Amino acid sequence: MVALRPSLDPTLHFGSRLLHTPVLAKHLTIGELAEAAGVPTSTVRYYERAKLLKPSTRSPSNYRLYSTADLDRLRFIRAAQATGFALDDVTKLLRPAPCGSVQRLIEDQLEGVGERMKELRHVQKVLRAALAECQGHANTGRCKVVDDLSARAKRPR
């Protein structure tokens, strides 16, 4: 469990919105933030360079300090990426946007998924045919699929 550091700053930042809390804000170091989100610290630094995340403040020793809202933001970024959104899309999703523009991002994502699924179905069909070919020539001691691939590799394009 990550212990949160108390801070005197009662304001938590999330994007362009400010969230006020009546209790003291808590802050995490970069290592604690990374651990709480289940990512390496290099990922947090990468998101900082990509301007998706920034420390809420710095400690007197100049350590990056993050709020619980920053942790929520980091988890949102990871969840959006896990859904297949590119970082450019995540940047758009982090900004306040009308439902229509979010809908278009989702539609574009669905179209891309459909195309990749079509490609994967083709790969699956080719692999099944290759497996059947291998099984049919198993007793010859030579793999016809490897022979065919080798012959294709030698042909000039």
Fold adopted by 5-94: Multidrug-efflux Transporter Regulator; Chain: A; Domain 2 (1.10.1660)
Mean pLDDT score, 74-92: 93
* pLDDT of res. 25: 52
At 52, the pLDDT band (50, 70, 90 cuts) reads very high
* Residue pointed to by tokens 């980091």: 74
* pLDDT of res. 26: 79
CB contact set of 15 (below 8 Å; sequence gap of 6+) = 73, 94, 95, 96
